[in-house]
Structure 1
Amino acid sequence: MSWQAYTDNLTGTGKLDKAALYSKAGDSLWAQSGNFQLQPKEIQEIAKGFDDASGLQAHGLHAQGQKYFLLRNDDRSIYGKHEAEGLICVRTKQTILIAHYPNGVQPGEATTIVEKLADYLISTGF
């Protein structure tokens, strides 16, 4: 399966409207849905946030110029919220999955979809 198929599968659930797959370092985009691409500074702040959340705690996280309030962060997952929309970022052994859910979607439903894909990628060595 190509990397593009993973982002397509995320958006194909109807719970996520945008998705991207980056290298674990955040230095290269592997796949994206539509035009969902973060600015280099945005993906770098997320990549760094898995190991040191101080910047995200102080300034929030950003995607496509939108600021999200940090809800959760650990060495695997970072969740952000802006009004009724949200951002889910999950790091695997070699990738960072980033997905956006729109207004009207329950955060728990969206999170479960992204976390399950991350579990699958980890189980296959990625």
Structure 2
Amino acid sequence: MSWQAYVDDHLIATGKISKAAIVGKQGGIWAQSAGYNLSQAEQDFITKTAFASPDDVRANGITLGGFKFMAIQANPDEVIGRKGERGVFIIPTTQAILIGEYEGTPAGDGNVVVSKLADYLKSVGY
């Protein structure tokens, strides 16, 4: 299965995630939903700062696709952001980082979708 299929079929197709990307821990976008553009600075923040310096995330929030989220939680296992009806779950796997934004759906539903894919990728070494 291609990385794009993971984004399209396992995140977006659920109807619980509105925008998504898979970013390599060493950098680079492996796959992303249509129209979801993460700047290089946003990618660098995710790969270099988000999990290494959770205090920075809590202090500064998370900007993705030009939209700034307030950090609700930041730890080595998960970063959660929210602003209004929009939210984001950022979960690292062995080799990648999953980013799933939701809008207008319950946060718990979005978390389950992203966490489930993260657990699967970890189980197969990714």
TM-score by length of 2: 0.94
CA contact (8 A) 1:20 1:37 kept: no
In structure 1, C-alpha distance between the alignment counterparts of 2:59 and 2:96, rounded to whole Å: 25
Match of 1:4 in 2: 4
Match of 1:76 in 2: 77
Flag as ranges the 4+ runs of structure 1 deviating above 6 A: none
Paired residue type of 1:19: A
Paired residue type of 1:34: A
CA shift, 1:37, in A, is 2.3
**Long gaps (5+) in structure 2:** none
Match of 1:116 in 2: 116
Q: Percent identity?
A: 37
**Long gaps (5+) in structure 1:** none
| CA deviation map 1:46-73 (0-9, x unaligned) | 2221121122111100001111000111
Match of 2:22 in 1: 21
Match of 1:37 in 2: 37
CA shift, 1:42, in A, is 1.1
TM-score by length of 1: 0.94
Match of 1:91 in 2: 92
Q: CA RMSD in A?
A: 0.9
